[in-house]
Amino acid sequence: MSSGKALSRFHQPIAVPGRRLLASIPLGFVRNKVGGGGHKSVNHEIPLIPFIDFLLCIVLFLLASFSASGELPIDKNVQLPSAVNADSMVDAPMVAITGTQILVDGIPAGSTRAIEEANRLQKIDELFNILKNKRDLWTQVNPNKPFGGVCVLQVDRRVSALVVKSVFQTAAYAGYPNVSFMVKKRATEGSGG
């Protein structure tokens, strides 16, 4: 009695055998019906686990190769020129010229209006002070490293050379002689229209 109760908690591991089709009896059509009617089964199992593994691998690869240049803040009003012979971006102070405003890493650093009105090359004091402060801060934080003096100019393609040269010269005076211009990388040399 007690052993029967204990067994009823589980599925019966041994069942009473039912009726079996004897192999010796020639009923091939029954055997075919049981085995799928002789046709190949059309149901397919999608191997989801390898698929998810594959997707995760792609995501990890793309995240690892995600370029920091994709996160650069670019003003929507700035139309950058393009160039073929360009290098990859570097981490450096970004001087943007948007309309009449000059920004250093998003902080206002003067106006181009004074340069255009004077119609001559001139040093932009506000820009000079901000860049000099950045340089001093960098040398204090990294006392044993040589200062690279790199800054990146983000300039709209319609801006005049007078403004570009004034900003360029101011950056050089502030200790940033290696000036780079931000451009859109063009893959191949176009042949026209």
Which of these segments, 16-24, 33-41, 106-114, 183-191, binds other proteins (CB under 8 A)? 183-191
The CA distance from 94 to 78, in Å, is 14
Q: What is the DSSP letter of 40?
A: P
Asked if residue 133 binds other proteins (CB under 8 A), the reply is no
CB of 43 to other proteins, least distance (A): 15
Residue 60: other Cβ atoms inside 10 A: 10
Determine which helix (DSSP H) or strand (DSSP E) holds 95, and give its type and residue range: strand 94-98
Q: Which two tokens stand for residue 116?
A: 């255009």
Q: Which two tokens stand for residue 42?
A: 């059309």
Asked if residue 45 binds other proteins (CB under 8 A), the reply is no
Among the listed residues 30, 83, 114, 137, the single contact to other proteins using CB under 8 A: 83
Instruction: Tell me, residue by residue from 48 to 77, as one string, x for binding to other proteins by CB under 8 A and - for no binding.
Output: xx-xx--xx-xx--xx-xxx-xx-x-x---
Q: What is the DSSP letter of 89?
A: P
Residue 38 phi/psi, 5-degree rounding, is 80, -10
Report the site for other proteins in 101-120 (rule: CB under 8 A): 119-120
C-beta of residue 131 within 8 angstroms of C-beta of residue 174: yes
* Residue entry with tokens 């300039």: 155
Report the site for other proteins in 163-182 (rule: CB under 8 A): 164-165, 168-169, 171-173, 175-182
- Residues within the interface to other proteins (CB under 8 A): 48-49, 51-52, 55-56, 58-59, 62-63, 65-67, 69-70, 72, 74, 79-90, 119-121, 149, 152, 155-162, 164-165, 168-169, 171-173, 175-186, 189-193
